[in-house]
Amino acid sequence: MMKRLFLLVCLIVFYGVITVPASRYLLDRPVALKLGYTPSSEAIKLVVGDQKLLLAESLVIKVLFYFGSLVEKSMNRVDIPPEYYGMFKTLKTAVMLDPYNQDAYYFAQAAFTWEVGHAEDVNKMLIYGMEYRDWDMLLPFFVGFNAAYFLKDYEMAAIYTRRAAEISGSDLLTNLTARYFYEANHDQMGIAFLKQREENTKDQGMKSLYRLRRESLEAAQALQRSLERFVEKFGHQPEKIDRLVEEGMISHLPDDPYGGEFYLDSHGKVRSTSNFSFTRGADAVQDGQ
Amino acid sequence: MVHTLFVARLTLNALGRDRVLHTLLGVSLVLLCLVPAFSLFSMRQVQELAVTLVLSCHALLLIFLAIFLGSSTLWRDLERRHTSLILGLPLSRSHYLLGRFFGVGLFLLLFSLCYALLAVIAVSVSATFYEADRPVIWMNLLAALGGDLLKAWLLAAVAFLFSTFSTSLFLPLFGTLAIYSAGSASQEVYEYLNSDFSSQISAGVRWLAEIFYWILPNLTLFDLKTQAVYSLPLDIPALIYPFIYGFVYTSLVLWGAEFFLSRRDLV
C-alpha cells in the first residue's frame, strides 16, 4: 500500500515538474507555430464534410485569440509584431469555407486596414462577402469607407456607400453617397440618387434634408459647368470664382443652402465654406470666415 | 409487418439498456449545456455560432451512432450465433433485417427528437446574449436536424449492408466511415471536375470520378446547416430532394443487404 502511495506521489511530482515548463514552452512558441498552417480551402472542403461552418468559425476564433494575446502583450509594453500575412490567409480560408461568416469580415476590416494598410485586399474580401450577406449594410459601407479614406477612390466609395444606403435606408449614408459622387465628379449621379431617396421617403424632415443636399449639389454643379466653359474659353482657371459672373459664364453666384460661400480650391474644384454641412458652416461662421 | 415491428421493438429495448449509449447521451447533454458559453467566443455572431455548434455536435453524434449501431447490431447477432436461433422462429430473414434496421432507425429518431428539444433551449439562451442580424428560423433548424437524421439512416443502412457479408467488424465500421467521407466530398470533386480548373486532368480519371459520383451516396444533399445558421430562405426542393433521395438510396442499400443476408450461411 505504501509503495503504491509513494508511486502516486512521485507521479504527481513528476507531473508538476513537466507540466509547468511544457505549458511555458507552448506559450512561447513562435508565432507561425501558434497560428499554424492552414491548408487551402479546396483541400479542406474535401475532408471536413458537413463541418465546414464549424471549422471556419474555429479558424476565425483562432485568429481572434492570437491577435487578442498580442494586443494584451503590447498593452504590457511587450512588442511582438503580428503575423498579418498568416492571419489574413487564415481568414481568407475561413470565408471560402463559410462565406457568410460575419466575424471574419468584421475582423479583417478592423485589423488589416488601419494597422497594415491592406484596404485593397480587405475590399476584395468584403466584396466577395457581399454576394452572400446581401442583407448586411456594413460590408458595402466598409468597402465604401476604405475606398474613400484609404484608397481615395471616390467613385468606388460612392457605388458601395449607395448600396449600404439602399440596404439600411440610412439618411446619413444617403448624404455620404451624394458627397462621394460629388468628389468623384459624378454630381449628376449624386443628384439623381438624392432625388430618388427624396421621392421614396415619407418623413418630411428627411425630405427637406435630401432636398437641401440636392440643391447644394445642383448649385455646385452649375458653377462647375460654368467653370469648365471658362477654362475652355480662356485656357486657364479663374483667379476667383467671381470672374465667372464678370465674364458672363453664369448670371449670379448661387446661394449655398448650407449657408456657406462658394470658392475654388487649388485643384479648380468648386467648394463651399460650409463644406455642405451645417456643422462646418457654423464652425466657419464662428471662425469668422 | 408484425414480425418486423416485433424485432424493431426488441432492438429498441436492447439499445435503451446499452450503457455506452447512456454515456453518449450524457456527453451530448453536457455539450449542449456548454453551447451558450462557447458561443460567446464569437465577435458578432453569437447566435449563429450557437446554431453551428448545436448542428455540428448533432451531426457528429448521429454519424457515430449510425456507424457504431449499424455495424455492431447485425454483426453481433451473426458473431454470437443468435441468428441460428432466429432461423427457428416463424420469421423471414428480410423481416429480421428490416426489424433490426427499424429498431436502430427509431433509436436515432428518438435521440434526434430529444436533442432537438434541448438544442432549441441552448440556442434560445445564446440568442439573448447578442442581438443577431436575423432571428433564428426554427423550421430551418429542425430541417437541418432532419437532414442529419436522414443521412444517419442512410449510413446505418450502409453499415447493415457491410455486416451482411463481412465476417469481421472492421469492414462495416471502416467501410461505412469511408463511404461517409467519400459521400461528403463527392459533390465538391464533381463540381471541381466540371470547372475550368480541371482541364489538365485526364479523361480516364474524370470518367472514373464521375462513375463514383453517381454510385456513392451524395451526402451534401442532406446538409442544410448554412440555411439554418444564417436563417436563409429554405426552398421546397432543398427539403424534398434529401427526403426522397434518402428514402430511395436507403431502400436500395437495404435491398442489397437483404440479398446478401438471404444467401449467407447462418448455421
Report the share of chain B in percent with pLDDT over 70. Answer: 98
- Return the pLDDT at A278: 62
Tell whether the model's pLDDT for residue B160 goes beyond 80: yes
- Return the pLDDT at A284: 43
Tell whether the model's pLDDT for residue A289 goes beyond 50: no
The residue ranges of every structural domain in chain A are 35-132
Query: Are A42 and B59 inside 8 Å of each other by CB?
Result: no
Burial class (CB in 10 A: 0-12, 13-18, 19+), B6: middle
Q: Which residue has the higher pLDDT, B248 or A78?
A: B248
B227: three-class secondary structure by DSSP: helix
Dig out the grid coordinates for A66 from the structure: 492570437
The set of residues, in sequence order, having a beta carbon less than 8 Å from that of B192 and lying 6+ positions away, is A42, B198
Nearest to A174 by CA among A163, A183, A165: A165
Residue pair B183/B219 in contact by the 8 Å Cβ criterion: yes
Q: What are phi and psi of A270, to 5 degrees?
A: -75, 125
- B43, B134, B223 member nearest A50 (Cβ): B223
Residue A73's pLDDT band (cuts 50, 70, 90): low
Q: How far apart are CA A62 and CA A81, in angstroms?
A: 17
Give the other-Cβ count within 10 Å of A76's Cβ: 7
CB of B219 within 8 Å of any CB in chain A?
Answer: yes
Angle at B106 between CA B100 and CA B110, to 5 degrees: 150
SS3 per residue for B196-208: HHHCCCCHHHHHH
A172-198 tens-digit pLDDT: 788 888 888 887 777 777 787 777 777
The ipTM is 0.77
Which residues in A lie closer than 8 A to residue B220 (C-beta atoms)? 50
Which region among A68-77, A148-157, A183-192, B192-201 has the lowest average model confidence (pLDDT)? A68-77
Mean pLDDT of chain A: 81
Query: Are A53 and B42 inside 8 Å of each other by CB?
Result: no
Mutate to test the interface with B, among A40, A50, A134 (most CBs of B within 10 A): A50
Which contiguous run of DSSP H or E holds residue A270?
Answer: strand A270-272
Query: Are A47 and B188 inside 8 Å of each other by CB?
Result: no
B185-227 tens-digit pLDDT: 888 888 888 877 777 788 888 888 889 899 999 999 999 999 9
Tell whether the model's pLDDT for residue B90 goes beyond 80: no
B34-66 tens-digit pLDDT: 999 988 888 788 899 999 999 999 999 999 999
Residue pair B44/B138 in contact by the 8 Å Cβ criterion: no
Give the highest mean pLDDT range of A24-28, A109-113, A141-145, A280-284. Answer: A141-145
Q: How far is A31 from chain B (nearest CA, A)?
A: 21
Q: How far is B76 from chain A (nearest CA, A)?
A: 29
Q: How far apart are CA B76 and CA B72, in angstroms?
A: 6
Which residues in B lie closer than 8 A to residue A48 (C-beta atoms)? 184
Q: How far apart are CA A90 and CA A44, in angstroms?
A: 12
Q: Which residue has the higher pLDDT, A32 or B111?
A: B111
Query: Are A50 and B219 inside 8 Å of each other by CB?
Result: yes
- Return the pLDDT at A110: 79
b/e sequence B154-175, b meaning 16+ C-beta within 10 Å: bbbbbbbbbbbebeeeebbbeb
Query: Are A54 and B53 inside 8 Å of each other by CB?
Result: yes
Nearest to A273 by CA among A257, A289, A288: A289
Mean pLDDT of A143-149: 87
Report field, pTM of the whole predicted structure over 0.90: no
Nearest CA in chain B to A42: B188
How far lies B183's CA from each of A56, B15, B82, B213, B217, in Å?
21, 27, 33, 8, 5
| Inter-chain CB pairs, A–B, below 8 Å | 65
The set of residues, in sequence order, having a beta carbon less than 8 Å from that of B7 and lying 6+ positions away, is B91, B95, B96, B98, B99, B100, B102, B103
A264: three-class secondary structure by DSSP: strand
Report the first-to-last Cα separation within chain A, whole angstroms.
Answer: 94
Q: How far apart are CA B143 and CA B156, in angstroms?
A: 20
A101-132 tens-digit pLDDT: 998 998 888 778 766 778 899 999 999 999 99
A246-286 tens-digit pLDDT: 888 888 888 888 888 888 887 778 888 887 766 544 444 34
How far lies B254's CA from each of B64, B159, B164, B259, B266, in Å?
20, 10, 10, 8, 18
**Residue written as cell 457479408?**
B165
Query: Are B52 and A49 inside 8 Å of each other by CB?
Result: no
Q: How far apart are CA A168 and CA A163, in angstroms?
A: 9
Q: How far is B24 from chain A (nearest CA, A)?
A: 20
Query: Are A107 and B229 inside 8 Å of each other by CB?
Result: no
Looking at beta carbons, which pairs linking B85-93 to residues 24 or more positions away fall under 8 Å? Answer: B87/B266, B87/B267, B90/B3, B91/B3, B91/B7, B92/B3, B93/B258, B93/B261, B93/B262
Query: Are B180 and A49 inside 8 Å of each other by CB?
Result: yes
B237-248 tens-digit pLDDT: 989 999 999 999
Q: Which residue has the higher pLDDT, B18 or B164?
A: B164
Dig out the grid coordinates for B56 from the structure: 455540428
**Residue written as cell 453499415?**
B159
Q: How far apart are CA B77 and CA B69, in angstroms?
A: 12
Query: Are B56 and A53 inside 8 Å of each other by CB?
Result: yes
Angle at B66 between CA B55 and CA B95, to 5 degrees: 135
Which B residues 44-83 touch A at CB under 8 Å? 44-45, 48-49, 52-53, 55-56, 59-60
- Return the pLDDT at A283: 46
Radius of gyration of chain A measured on its C-alpha atoms? 28
Which residues in B lie closer than 8 A to residue A58 (C-beta atoms)? none
The residue type found at B2 is V
